[in-house]
């Protein structure tokens, strides 16, 4: 497994739990050192116990050196990052192609090379071409096996997938992939074999569709406010329709994270270059960018028109609960906007503080929600961590100087907030 990030580590841990022998490789020596000492560099529920058990059983190991593991491997996964390229929105494939160059000299015997990273259509073919040029003598096949896990429930998603998708044009490689996923197939997880291009595109199309659902309900929430409807009621009503489904119909401050923004941008580029633009998805991207800015304005409005000289407590910095990932989080737009408008921001997040500190200078970091709201004029819920649901609103209110609660995740009930003495603003109701 090349790449010990979210996807690489979780995949490696789960494959080793299935009983396979896995070596997880990363070019970052500090990360490998931590892992070898039994520490997990990211916060992901249950990942620590899984890694600890499989490390103890000798089924998983960590290294910066890929020579021996690649030579011995039947299957090499590429799980390196494919971030957004500066300027044009394309997926940056430099980490993928670097890994291909790194592994090529060590291929020995028939080896399946499989991308778990999200990569543009045609990347499997390009990897094959490059490997063929580097090692005309080697026996290998290149597959695509995009990953659909969600941060925060990654282990569950990996072991209970809606489907496992494999893009594969080679019979020998198919046999290896079938064997690898047999433990899931035996539990009735659908393992789907399609062409490599279909697999590559399906991953982007899935994320774009989910992003579209979020932008859709966000716009409907705005409309609800304008016409006195309640977005929770509307979402429940439309979600009951099996054709629509009730997931991803939660209005909020816009999608973020390490995947949706970059994958939407990359799909837009792929479609434009294929001269088959996805105008719907281009609009989703615009709606979502505007959404984050609109949320900062909404906070100002709730604060009486200005946050200048006011103290704003922000609860939740990660892009979603149960992760410490802050990539493209709405907080990275909203917090600096509030600071620019003269607010003093106090921040609390159960796990993301360490990642956020460098990116959000000027924030006063607190050890709990109750500490964050101390003497605040306004409190904003930006990420719906479960621990915020159980907070006593009376306790929050009593510690504050002001009485404004801006709930951008609809965690609380309006009556409950009013009863606690808050001037309450939420989304779409």
- Active site residue ranges: 259
Dihedral angle at the C-alpha atoms of 39, 40, 41, 47, nearest 10 degrees?
-170
Tell whether residue 8 is a contact of ligand NAD (CB under 6 A).
yes
- Residue 247 token pair: 């997931």
Tell which one of 76, 79, 266, 363 touches ligand NAD (CB under 6 A): 79
Q: Is 25 in the site for ligand NAD (CB under 6 A)?
A: yes
Residue 6 touching ligand NAD (CB under 6 A): yes
82 binds ligand NAD (CB under 6 A): yes
Give the sheet arrangement for strand 140-144, strand by strand: 75-78, 111-115, 140-144, 164-167, 191-194
Question: CA–CA separation, 130 vs 275, rounded Å?
Answer: 26
Count of residues binding ligand NAD (CB under 6 A)? Answer: 28
| Cα Rg, the chain, nearest whole Å | 23
List 27, 53, 399, 429, residue binding ligand NAD (CB under 6 A): 27
Residue 154 Cβ, how far from ligand NAD at the closest point, in Å?
7
Closest alpha carbon to 104 in 33, 2, 17: 2
Q: Where are the alpha helices (DSSP H) in 181-242?
A: 182-185, 196-227, 231-239
* Among 65, 83, 93, 75, residue whose Cα is nearest residue 1: 75
Q: Does 92 bind ligand NAD (CB under 6 A)?
A: no
Task: Determine, following the binding rule CB under 6 A, whether residue 267 of this chain makes contact with ligand NAD.
Answer: no
Give phi and psi for 314, each to the nearest 5: -110, 120
Q: Is 200 in the site for ligand NAD (CB under 6 A)?
A: no
Query: Quick check: 214 binds ligand NAD (CB under 6 A)?
Result: no
Residues whose CB falls within 8 Å of the CB of residue 149, separated by 6 or more in sequence, listed in order: 7, 10, 157, 158, 161
Q: Count other C-beta atoms under 10 Å from residue 64's C-beta.
A: 13
- Whose CA is closest to 198, among 163, 242, 164, 166? 166
CB distance 355 to 288 below 8 Å:
no
- Taking the least distance from each CB to ligand NAD, the nearer of 97 and 365 is 97
Burial of 53 (0-12, 13-18, 19+ CB in 10 A): middle
Q: Pick the closer one to ligand NAD by CB: 4 or 212.
A: 4
Does position 288 bind ligand NAD by CB under 6 A?
no
Q: In this complex, which beta carbon is closest to ligand NAD, that of residue 100 or of residue 405?
A: 100
Instruction: Give the residue from 205, 220, 279 showing the smallest Cα distance to 252.
Output: 220
Check residue 62 for interaction with ligand NAD (CB under 6 A).
Answer: no
Nearer CB in complex with ligand NAD: 4/13: 4
89 binds ligand NAD (CB under 6 A): no
Which residues inside 351-410 make contact with ligand NAD, applying CB under 6 A? Answer: none
**Which lies closer to ligand NAD via its Cβ, residue 94 or residue 283?**
94
Applying CB under 6 A, which part among 121-129, 145-153, 227-235, 342-350 lies near ligand NAD? Answer: 145-153
* Closer by beta carbon to ligand NAD, 166 or else 345: 166
Nearest residue to 210 via CA among 267, 154, 166: 267
Contact map string, positions 104 to 143, toward ligand NAD, x by CB under 6 A = ------------xxx-------------------------
258 touching ligand NAD, by CB under 6 A = yes
Q: By CB under 6 A, is residue 103 in contact with ligand NAD?
A: no
Q: Is 204 in the site for ligand NAD (CB under 6 A)?
A: no
Binding site for ligand NAD (CB under 6 A): 2-8, 25-28, 31, 79-82, 95, 98-99, 102, 116-118, 147, 149, 151, 258-259
């Amino acid at each position: 497994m090349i790449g010990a990030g979210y996807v690489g580590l979780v995949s490696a841990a789960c494959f080793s739990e299935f009983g396979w022998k896995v070596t997880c490789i990363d070019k970052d020596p500090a990360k490998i050192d931590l892992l070898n000492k039994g520490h997990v560099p990211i916060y992901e529920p249950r990942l620590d116990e899984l890694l600890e058990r499989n490390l103890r059983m000798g089924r998983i190991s960590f290294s910066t050196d890929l020579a021996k593991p690649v030579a011995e491997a039947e299957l090499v996964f590429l799980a390196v990052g494919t971030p957004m390229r500066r300027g044009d929105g394309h997926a940056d494939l430099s980490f993928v192609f670097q890994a291909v160059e790194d592994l090529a000299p060590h291929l020995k015997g028939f080896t399946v090379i499989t991308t778990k990273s999200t990569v543009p259509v045609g990347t499997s073919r390009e990897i094959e071409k490059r490997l063929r040029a580097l090692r005309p003598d080697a026996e290998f096949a290149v597959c695509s096996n995009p990953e659909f896990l969600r941060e925060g429930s990654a282990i569950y998603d990996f072991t209970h997938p809606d489907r496992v998708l494999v893009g594969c044009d080679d019979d020998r490689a198919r046999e290896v992939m079938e064997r690898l996923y047999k433990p899931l197939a035996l539990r009735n997880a659908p393992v789907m074999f399609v062409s490599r291009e279909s697999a590559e595109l399906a991953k982007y199309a899935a994320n774009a569709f989910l992003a579209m659902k979020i932008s859709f309900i966000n716009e409907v929430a705005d409309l609800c406010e304008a016409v006195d409807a309640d977005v929770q009621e509307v979402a429940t009503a439309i979600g009951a329709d099996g054709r629509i489904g009730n997931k991803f119909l939660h209005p909020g401050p816009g999608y973020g994270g390490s995947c949706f923004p970059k994958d939407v941008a990359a799909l837009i580029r792929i479609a434009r270059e294929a001269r088959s633009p996805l105008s719907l998805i281009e609009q989703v991207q615009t709606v979502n960018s505007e959404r984050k800015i609109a949320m900062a304005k909404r906070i100002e409005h709730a604060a009486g028109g200005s946050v200048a000289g006011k103290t704003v407590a922000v609860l939740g910095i990660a892009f979603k609960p149960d992760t410490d990932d802050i990539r493209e989080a709405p907080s990275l737009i909203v917090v600096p906007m509030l600071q620019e408008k003269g607010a003093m921001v106090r921040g609390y997040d159960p796990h993301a503080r360490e990642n956020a500190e460098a990116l959000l200078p000027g924030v006063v970091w607190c050890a709990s929600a109750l500490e964050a709201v101390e003497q605040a004029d306004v409190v904003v819920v930006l990420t719906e961590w479960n621990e915020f649901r159980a907070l006593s609103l009376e306790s929050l209110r009593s510690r504050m100087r002001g009485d404004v609660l801006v709930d951008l995740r609809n965690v609380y009930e309006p009556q409950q907030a009013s009863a606690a003495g808050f001037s309450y603003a939420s989304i779409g109701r």
